Structure 1
Amino acid sequence: MNDTKYSILFMRDDLDVRRFRLNPFWLKALVFTLVMLVVLASGGIYFGATALLDNLALKRENTELARRLKEAELRLTTLENMEKILESYDSSDLQSLLQNPEATTDTAADADDQTPDINLSELFPRVDTGSVRLEDMRLNLGPKQLQVNFNLLNNLNNTLLSGDTELALVTNDGRVVPLETQGTDLSFQIQRRKPMRARISLPDAVEADSVYGVRLTVKREDGKVIFSETYPQHRLD
């Protein structure tokens, strides 16, 4: 029984019959090897699919964390903006207001005549409809000009997006000064992305030292604002 062998015959019309004798051990080893290859391939597919699902879950988690970080940055920017506005007021007036708020009621009308009302929601509006995304933002504010560099990405798949980009300066005293962007390449008609580059001269009436930040607004062709953000000067490159 131990001498049992399997014969394998190879026959061709133009050649003699060839016979190979195979020990049952090698036949079993071949079958075992094929089974192991199938098992290993199945295991590889399983672990590959598991790793892919884990990767997708991590991407979703990363997206959620990025969204929370963006919201936290927005709240921080709003607080910084409020702090900057409060710093522009006289400290003694603020101190008296905190210590005796009722005492300021009688002088509120006179103060209104001397100090213009500042609406923070108008000074620092933020709009993000999700239609576009800005990457690699660089705003360089010099003594006489503003240099703008960023990539504008279209988030609307298979949709051609057209519009224009507007810039304005926000001063320390609460003024919003629009910048003249005619002659610059800040209009867009994009399917996926467009690099935006421009150099804009500052108005003669505005000194760079008096600028608190730069407001960037992206509008569609129909005039609807799809993105607006104010970038404080200390965060500009």
Structure 2
Amino acid sequence: MMTDEKYSLLLMRDDCRVRRLRVSPLALRLLTVSLVLLPLLAAFGVWAGFSFWQANRTLVNQNQALDRDLKEARVELERLSNLESLLRSSDPEELRALLGSAALASPPAPAPAKPGDANGAGDGVVTAPGQIHAPAGAQAGEQTPLPSDDPTQAGVDARVPDAASQAVAAAVADTPGEAREALSTGEARVDNVTVRHGSGKRLRINFDLTNPDPKKQLGGQALFSVVAADGRIQPLKVEPDTNRFQISRFKKIVTSAPLPDGLAPADVQTLVVELEAEGRIIYREQYPVPAPEK
């Protein structure tokens, strides 16, 4: 007959009864093993938590990088879609205007100055800011007469306004201020504006429209008007849907409009570009119109 071996654990305290606790050898072994494994399990948990935290941090950084790449890809896709819509257009004038604006976007390199030409005047004399460069006769000791304030004595240099200039000034003075004053709320930016005369008394207009805040969609339409030589401001009727925009970053606006009746191409002085969004004007600027090619 096998005896059940157990260990007796006596708990004794002063002035108290003795308590006896019997523990089997198996339970005592399990308790010893658990006390050894518990620190090892704790160390493994700390190591696993740190490793998973590092992996999670790496995934977060990769997600942010992919998000930035996705936004840049969307902007590039929108730009390419705009270019594709322009390339599909059957009007060769618009394509020529697009290529011309791309060529104008890169400014030409400045010409190198000649030796001894410190200020570009060609005579080797440095002119201080605000100082008028004297002619060769004045440098040799001759006295140069000062311009007279009398228009009858000044002749052409007096720049007496002619009748056309007076008419322009009077018309601009009578025009409401909002029709000629520049305005920009910062919600849109217009760059590389190109205006030229086309065939059939039409104006070819193209420019780059940029939304400074890509988090907000910018939608609206572009309004155009011309200022004639006599100061009259006349609106232009552009081709349908060529002046409307709904962008998050960038769009190339290319459109054309016929001149108003009774207005000759040579009489067009400036072009007024306005951007309307949410029923209000957010941008307005005037741009000179070159003379038509003969």
* TM-score using structure 1 length: 0.48
* TM-score using structure 2 length: 0.39
Task: Return the index of the structure with the highest Cα Rg.
Answer: 2
Higher strand share: 1
